[in-house]
Structure 1
C-alpha cells in the first residue's frame, strides 16, 4: 500500500490544538501517511502562535482575509476558490477537517465537488439551534452532511449522528483530541512570573472571551461584572488574556486595566494558558474548547453563552451556562466562592471528553479502514 496523502486545514487556534496530536502521529509513520498542512492565512495571529508552539509548519497558505475584514460570505467564497487550487496542486486522498469553522465548511464543500472523502474530527456536536452559536452550529451540521467518516468525541455525539440517519458503521467514538494535547503539555511543576505576583493566600479566576456575538455590550457587561466581583472579594484575583488584534482587547483594557488584582494581558502561548487554567479557582469563558480543557483539570466553568454543544459537561455538573447577564454571573461566582459543597460538585466530573488517546484511535481507524 502506498502513502495516504491526507490534507488538513487550519483557520483557528482551536483547530491547530486539536489536530496537532493526529498530525504528530501521522508524521511518525511516513510509510503510511503523508500529511499536507493548509492554513487559511499566515496573518492570523492566534493560529500561528499555536502552530509555532506545537512545531507545525504549513505546506500551503490560502491567503484569505478574516471575516472581520471582508465578511463571512466573501470569506467563504475566497476559501472555496483557494481550497480548490490547493486540492488541484496537492491531489490529496482524503481531507481531514475539525469542528465547525468556516474553513472546515469550505474544505468539505470543495472535497465533495472533487469526490474526495472527508473525515470529520469532532463530529456530531449539536445545540439544535441554527443561530446559536452562529454560524458554528450550521457549519458543523453541513460538514457532517458532507462527510464520509465521523470521529465523534462522545457517545452523545454518536447518538446525534445516528438520529440524523448517519450509518453507525461510519461513526467512531474516539474522545476529543484536545484531551491528548492538554495531558501532554500539563506541567505539575509549572511556574511563571504572572503566578508569582499572586499572593499565596489569594485565589484567581481565569476569564476568556472573544466570540463575535459577545463583542460589544455583552462583553462590557461581563467585564464590568467581574470588575465588581474582584473589588468585593479581596482575596480573589482575575487573569484575563485577550488577543491584541481583537475588538475585545480594547474593551478589556478600558474596563479592567489599572485595577488592583486584575491582570489583562496578551494571549498566552498554549503551555502557559493550560498550566495557568489548571491552577485557577474557576474559569469564565465563551469558548467551548476551554470547557473541554477545564474538564481535564476538574475546574468549574461558567459558560458565557446562551447554550452549548458540550452538553456532557452540563450534565456532569462541571460547567454551568450563565450567559452574559450580570446577576446570573454574580450568583454563580458567589456560590463557587462560598459554597464548598457546590464547588466540590462542579469539580467531581470524570473523564467527560476522553482518556487522552483520541489521536491514537483516529490514526489506527484510518489505517484500518483505508
Structure 2
C-alpha cells in the first residue's frame, strides 16, 4: 500500500486541496491517505473542512496571535517531524506558496519522502512581490520531486529553471475542481446566511471586493478605500459588498473610511460556500486574491486585481483580468468603464478560463497511480 500525506494550513490551500483529498480517498485499494493541517489559519480553515466534510488525521493547531514568519516556519518543521516518524509517508503533497507548504516540503525532504507540489510553476521572479509567497513557491519548487503545473505557462517556467520535464505534469488548477463541486452543493442547499444576504441585496447589482495582501497594508488600503468610496457615491444603485479580512491592519482603514457609506456592505469573512455564491451573484470582482483570479473566469466575472505584479499572467493575457494595483484612479476608472461600457463588460465576461476544466485532481491521482504501478513492476522484476 502506498502511503500519502496531504498537508495544508490556510483557507485557500484547503479549498484547492479538498477535492484532491476526496479523489485519493476514492482509491483505498491503492493508497492509504492521511491529511495533516498546520492551522496556519484556524477559523477560516475549519469552515472549509466542514464544508468538504474532511476530518484531518493530524492537526498541529499552530496559529498564534502576532506570530512571526520565523516562528511559524520553525514550528511547522519541528511539529511535522513526529508525524513523519510515526506514519512514514511515501509521498507528501503540498500546495502553492504558503509557509506551510515551504516548511512541510523541507520537513518531508529531511524525512526522505517524495514531495509533490500542487500549483507548481507560478512566478513573478521578484522575491519581494508577493512577499513571502514568491520565495515560498520557489523554495518548494527546488525541493519537490514532482510538479503539477496548472497551465502551459507554469510548465514553461519550471523548464526554464531546469526542472526535469518528466517530473512536470500539466493538470489545470484544482480550484476549478473545487468550484464545480461547490456550486452544485450550494444550489441544492443555499443555507440561511446566503438567503439572508440575498434578501439584503434585493435586485441590485453587486461589486464584490476582497483584500488582504501584506504589500497593500498601510497606504495601499487607504487608496483602495478612497476609490471604493467615490465609486459608491457615484453609483448609488450599486451595492459594494466587502467581506473584511480579520487582520487588524485591514480592518482599521476599511471600517474607518467605508463604515458609514450606505451602499457599501462591510461583512465578516464568509464561509467558503457562501463566498462562492456571492461571487456568482456579483457583476464585477475587485480583489488582490490569487485564487479569485482563477475562479472568477469560470463564473463569467470580470476581475480587477489590486496588485502590481501577478504570478497568474494567463488571465491578464486572455483579458479576463485587468491589473489596477492600489492606484485610486485606476480602480475607479476601470470599475466605471465596466459598469458603463456594455461591450467591454460582455467581452471580459465571455472569455475562456485558462486555468482548467475541473479534472485536475483526476490527472494528479492518475499520475501517482502510474508511478506506483511502475514502482511495483520494478520491485517484482528485481525480487
TM category, shorter: over 0.9
Aligned residues: 366
How far off is 1:173 after superposition? Answer: 0.6
Question: SS in structure 1 opposite 2:153?
Answer: helix
1:298 match: 300
Q: Distance in 2 between matches of 1:365 and 1:43?
A: 30
How far off is 1:364 after superposition? Answer: 1.1
Q: Distance in 2 between matches of 1:360 and 1:71?
A: 36
1:307-326 residue CA offsets vs partner (Å, 9 max, x unmatched)? 10110000010001101110
**2:40–2:63 Cα contact (<8 Å) kept:** no
Q: Distance in 2 between matches of 1:42 and 1:303?
A: 25
Question: SS in structure 2 opposite 1:197?
Answer: helix
How far off is 1:43 after superposition? Answer: 6.7
1:195 match: 198
Question: SS in structure 2 opposite 1:70?
Answer: coil
**2:230–2:332 Cα contact (<8 Å) kept:** no
**2:44–2:271 Cα contact (<8 Å) kept:** no
Q: Distance in 1 between matches of 2:85 and 2:187?
A: 46
Question: SS in structure 2 opposite 1:7?
Answer: strand
**1:177–1:358 Cα contact (<8 Å) kept:** yes
1:248 match: 250
Q: Which has a greater percent of helix?
A: 2
Q: Distance in 2 between matches of 1:112 and 1:246?
A: 36
Select 1:368's aligned residue among 354, 367, 370. 370
| Distance change in 2, residues 1:332/1:42 (3 Å) | closer
1:205-254 residue CA offsets vs partner (Å, 9 max, x unmatched)? 00001112222221122122102211111211111112346532333222
Select 1:181's aligned residue among 178, 182, 193. 178
1:85 match: 82
How far off is 1:170 after superposition? Answer: 1.0
**1:274–1:293 Cα contact (<8 Å) kept:** no
Select 2:37's aligned residue among 39, 54, 58. 39
**1:46–1:243 Cα contact (<8 Å) kept:** no
1:230 match: 232
Indicate the RMSD between aligned Cα atoms, in angstroms.
1.6
Select 2:98's aligned residue among 95, 101, 118. 101
Return 244-253 or 99-108, whichever deviates more: 244-253
**TM-score normalised to structure 2 length:** 0.92
1:107-166 residue CA offsets vs partner (Å, 9 max, x unmatched)? 111111222110000000111111111111111011111001111101111111111111
Structure 1 unmatched ranges of 5 or more: none
Question: SS in structure 2 opposite 1:192?
Answer: helix
Tell whether 2:19 aligns with 1:21: yes
Q: Distance in 1 between matches of 2:164 and 2:145?
A: 10
Question: SS in structure 1 opposite 2:66?
Answer: helix
2:62 match: 64
1:35-68 residue CA offsets vs partner (Å, 9 max, x unmatched)? 22111138712111211121111111223235x6
1:78-100 residue CA offsets vs partner (Å, 9 max, x unmatched)? 11111112211221111100000
Q: Distance in 1 between matches of 2:40 and 2:117?
A: 23
**TM-score normalised to structure 1 length:** 0.95
2:280 match: 278
| Distance change in 2, residues 1:83/1:291 (3 Å) | same
1:75 match: 72
Question: SS in structure 2 opposite 1:302?
Answer: strand
**2:9–2:40 Cα contact (<8 Å) kept:** no
Select 1:128's aligned residue among 125, 128, 147. 125
1:268 match: 270
Structure 2 unmatched ranges of 5 or more: 373-383
